[in-house]
Amino acid sequence: MAFSIGGRLIINKLSNEGNEANFSLRLISATKPHDPSGNGLVKLQNGGSLEGSITSMPATTLEEQYGYYVYFRWTNELGIPGAFQIWNHGQTEFFLMTLTIDPIPNLTTAPIYFVYPNYESRLPADQAFSVYVPRDDRFGSQKLNEFLQFFPKSQISFLKPFVKTQLVTTGEEEFKSFENVRDVLYESGFKFFVPKEVLDAMAARSPITPPEDGYVPLKFPIPGIIQANLDGWMTDEQFAREMFAGGNPVVIRLLQEFPIKSTLDPNVYGDHTCTITKQHLEKNLNGLTVEKAVERKRLFILDHHDSFMPYMRLINSETPSRAYGNRTVLFLQDNGTLKPLAIELSLPHPKGDQFGAVSKVFLPATQGVEASLWLLAKAYVTVTDTGLHQVASHWLNTHAVIEPIVIATHRHLSVLHPIHKLLHPHLRDTLFINAIGRQNLTNAFGIIEDTMLPGKFSMEMSSVIYKSWNFIDQALPNDLLKRGMAVKNPKAPYGLDLVIKDYPYAVDGLDIWDAINTWVRDYVSSYYDSDQPIQQDTELQSWWKEVVEVGHADLKNKPWWPKMQTREELIESCTIIIWTSSALHAAVNFGQYPFGGYILNRPTLSRRFIPEEGSEEYEELVRDPKQALLKTITPKYETLLALSIIEILSSHSSDEIYLGTRDNPNWTSDEKALVAFEKFGKRMGEIEQILIKRNKDGTLLNRVGPVDLPYTMLYPTSEPGVTGRGVPNSISI
């Protein structure tokens, strides 16, 4: 028999400032699953709504003793209310003392409301930083204020319609020249008008000072890539150098077979064997044959073919982008630098996927239209590399895969557990920055979809790539071995010989990896003297069970997961977690603005195909190759959005805690742990000096490159701001 009960929710609050609270409240059923029709939601009888929740009304004199109240009706179809969520929509915090459900069975006038019909919802754009995570996982007030003081960049998701309007109104949607790019971004800047009421509303919610005339300025710092050399980014040497000493140094791999084959299913996609031939490559192999170059480990590949080709038809037909799957083959020269030998650009066959790809090969050139085509080909490669970097190297392989570990650690390891104490610094702010990312960056119609090549397929691509993710391969030595960038050698430092001796990311990274591993080994060994205590540790076992079976449920049956039965498995797992949260994230995050802040160097979009000979676009390429490039890559609107975000993502807050340090010197009273940590901190200081010395070694040509931009991504410490260096303990930005 159906029934309904009216009730009153009495919220008692304490506010020292006497400000009235502005909040939303949601009841959640304890016995019925949530469904998109609004199961478990209640709304004010006499108040407004916000994204399907309820907003409080100020208490009347009659109810001052209770604080705030709302009336509701609850039916048996909703089950038994067992929990609630409450959101604070004001700037002033309030302390929630109690929430009491006071049934009023004869209350028949309060209507039932069912609300938001979709599974996924977003806060309004002007409340982007009000997204809920547990209090201890939110940014501290200092960091949040610094974040918001990046106005208008921190609010670009909310302000982007006004940016677009200004560009369309003034007819300034395209960059006119390379000089105009630099003027708009770093010299004169760009201003756009925002109505006063919008600015006032933002100022009421954020610590910002809106401009009096309503014209909001956007201006960016000069990125490192052009600080010393305006044109060095155009060289083949720098193009190659950024693949292993740039913002995405984790994709390039050794070429171990020729011809280059595809991993795509031929029954679905046809033949995708690479069309780069021996003749293409041997023109620039300094007398070597391809076979000899492969045998001597002198050929490398940046392969963005198989990951993009299943989506290329969709991207090119359902988004504004026009792009190619691509493969770039490079040669290791005697001086230790790489030079590109050939680029293959591929499109799905017009007759259908089962017919394979239509491909064209481009070779290096320095003069004539061939040089212009080569410059365009490099741009297409960089566009795909930038897109893959954002959805895979950065978001997926650091932010996303660590979040389940953060949650499992909070749920299953008490704060007194030694592994909780070990990992706690490496969990800081990750839930909150990920929540902000889902609200503003990776969401539908968000900044990533607006500004990066994969567009609306970004998260789907990320999910597909995740299917081949492997926890064990996140260990730096395993990653280098898997990509063929190192070979095992028990007599070599760290047991590896690097194939490219001057591979800055790998050389610096191995120093840090070993330091983390030594610290974890010393720490774990002081608490677990054998395997048996690990097997008997119920907290530890439940923690790891959730990491594997819940946090990574779709991969839970993979055989590579550590079983968490031995000390070695615990040491390896904790080392991987700390490495991923600190150094790996630093390597793929803090170079975004130094390398990508100049959109010509790291374009995020391509908007038209290689021009066909005889076409108007081809004649423009012959006549003005720079203008042709500008019309091909990221336009002004998307550039302004992209740079606003990557500048913030590349910045350190003033309260950042770096690897080898802790915010609380009294984090443990265990003397052995304190001695081991002091040793770790000292080692990180030594590593920083070693890295500085390497960058001053003129024989290591990949450390600085033609743009005179040293590889500093893995320097352990940093000043606040965009520095291109610093390894924070955690994924905190």
DSSP 259-324: SPP--S-HHHH--------HHHHHTTSTT--HHHHHHTT-EEEEEESTTTHHHHHHHHHHSS----
Chain centre to alpha carbon of residue 463: 14
Identify whether the C-beta of residue 150 lies closer than 8 Å to the C-beta of residue 653: no
Mean pLDDT of 556-582: 98
Q: What is the pLDDT of residues 197-213, one digit of tens each?
A: 889 888 887 778 889 99
Report the pLDDT value the prediction gives residue 701, as an integer from 0 to 100.
97
Report the pLDDT value the prediction gives residue 123, as an integer from 0 to 100.
73
The amino acid present at 45, given as its one-letter code, is Q
Report the pLDDT value the prediction gives residue 132, as an integer from 0 to 100.
82
How distant, in Å, are the alpha carbons of 70, 104, 172, 479 from that of 73? 10, 9, 55, 57
Q: Where in the chain is the domain with CATH 1.20.245.10?
A: 129-249+398-599+634-732
Mean pLDDT of 496-520: 98
Report the pLDDT value the prediction gives residue 201, as an integer from 0 to 100.
82
Residue 99: which pLDDT band, with cuts at 50, 70 and 90? low
A 10 A CB-CB count for 278 gives 13
* pLDDT for 303 beyond 50: yes
CA atoms of 434 and 487, how far apart (whole Å): 35
* pLDDT for 171 beyond 70: yes
Q: What are the backbone dihedrals phi and psi of residue 434, each rounded to the nearest 5 degrees, phi first?
A: -70, -40
* Angle at which helices 625-632 and 368-388 cross, to 10°: 20
With H, G, I as helix, E, B as strand and everything else as coil, classify residue 381.
helix
Identify whether the C-beta of residue 445 lies closer than 8 Å to the C-beta of residue 319: no
Report the pLDDT value the prediction gives residue 195, as an integer from 0 to 100.
93
Both structure tokens of 264? 């795509």
- Three-class HEC string of 678-701: HHHHHHHHHHHHHHHHHHCCCCCC
* Angle at which helices 236-245 and 368-388 cross, to 10°: 10
Report the pLDDT value the prediction gives residue 200, as an integer from 0 to 100.
87
Both structure tokens of 68? 């705030």
Residue 280: which pLDDT band, with cuts at 50, 70 and 90? very high
Buried b (16+ CB within 10 A) or exposed e, 258-274: bebebebeeeebbebeb
Q: Which of 4-8, 17-21, 27-31, 33-37 has the highest mean pLDDT?
A: 27-31
Identify whether the C-beta of residue 191 lies closer than 8 Å to the C-beta of residue 218: yes
Identify whether the C-beta of residue 604 lies closer than 8 Å to the C-beta of residue 598: no
With H, G, I as helix, E, B as strand and everything else as coil, classify residue 83.
strand
Q: Which residues are catalytic?
A: 394, 399, 585, 589, 733
Residue 52: which pLDDT band, with cuts at 50, 70 and 90? very low
Contacts of residue 399, Cβ cutoff 8 Å, sequence gap at least 6: 430, 433, 434, 437, 585, 731
CATH of domain 2-124: 2.60.60.20
Mean pLDDT of 8-32: 56
How distant, in Å, are the alpha carbons of 92, 345, 452, 461 from that of 603? 41, 17, 9, 19
Mean pLDDT of 591-604: 98
CA atoms of 650 and 592, how far apart (whole Å): 6
- Whats the size of the chain, residue-wise? 733
Report the pLDDT value the prediction gives residue 65, as an integer from 0 to 100.
36
Helix, strand and coil percent figures for the chain, each rounded to 5 = 45, 15, 40
Q: Where in the chain is the domain with CATH 2.60.60.20?
A: 2-124
Q: What are the backbone dihedrals phi and psi of residue 602, each rounded to the nearest 5 degrees, phi first?
A: -130, 70
Mean pLDDT of 480-499: 97
The DSSP code for 705 is: T
Residue 491: which pLDDT band, with cuts at 50, 70 and 90? very high
Average pLDDT of the chain, as a whole number: 88
* pLDDT for 438 beyond 60: yes
Q: Which residues pair with 304 in a beta bridge?
A: 326
Percent of the chain having pLDDT more than 70? Answer: 84
Report the pLDDT value the prediction gives residue 53, as an integer from 0 to 100.
32
Stretch among 147-156, 282-291, 331-340, 416-425 having the lowest mean pLDDT = 147-156
* pLDDT for 114 beyond 80: no
A 10 A CB-CB count for 365 gives 14
Report the pLDDT value the prediction gives residue 100, as an integer from 0 to 100.
65
- Closest C-alpha to 729, from 424, 511, 476: 424
Report the pLDDT value the prediction gives residue 210, as an integer from 0 to 100.
86
Q: What are the backbone dihedrals phi and psi of residue 295, each rounded to the nearest 5 degrees, phi first?
A: -60, -40
Mean pLDDT of 523-530: 97
Report the pLDDT value the prediction gives residue 57, as an integer from 0 to 100.
35
The CATH fold of domain 129-249+398-599+634-732: Lipoxygenase-1; domain 5 (1.20.245)
The amino acid present at 103, given as its one-letter code, is P
- Closest C-alpha to 643, from 194, 174, 220, 329: 220
CA atoms of 405 and 37, how far apart (whole Å): 31
* pLDDT for 39 beyond 70: no
Stretch among 117-121, 349-353, 395-399 having the lowest mean pLDDT = 117-121
Report the pLDDT value the prediction gives residue 206, as an integer from 0 to 100.
78
Q: What angle do CA 179, 180, 182 make, to 5 degrees?
A: 65
Report the pLDDT value the prediction gives residue 64, as an integer from 0 to 100.
36
Stretch among 136-145, 549-558, 690-699 having the lowest mean pLDDT = 136-145
Identify whether the C-beta of residue 645 lies closer than 8 Å to the C-beta of residue 437: no
Percent of the chain having pLDDT more than 90? Answer: 76
Maximum alpha-carbon separation in the chain? 94
Mean pLDDT of 443-458: 94
CA atoms of 58 and 79, how far apart (whole Å): 29
Mean pLDDT of 464-470: 97
Q: In what order do the strands lie in the sheet with 253-254?
A: 253-254, 299-304, 325-332, 338-348, 357-362
Mean pLDDT of 178-196: 97
Report the pLDDT value the prediction gives residue 134, as an integer from 0 to 100.
87
Mean pLDDT of 672-683: 98
Mean pLDDT of 36-41: 42
**298 or 35, which is more confident?**
298
Place of tokens 């006032």: 200
Strands 651-652 and 721-722: antiparallel
Chain centre to alpha carbon of residue 319: 22
* pLDDT for 58 beyond 60: no
251-390: CATH, from 3.40.50.300, 3.10.450.60, 3.40.50.720, 3.40.50.1110 = 3.10.450.60
End-to-end CA distance of the chain: 53
Residue 34: which pLDDT band, with cuts at 50, 70 and 90? low
Contacts of residue 416, Cβ cutoff 8 Å, sequence gap at least 6: none
CA atoms of 321 and 529, how far apart (whole Å): 57
Both structure tokens of 32? 């019925």
* Angle at which helices 567-579 and 504-527 cross, to 10°: 140
Strands 325-332 and 338-348: antiparallel
CA atoms of 569 and 565, how far apart (whole Å): 7
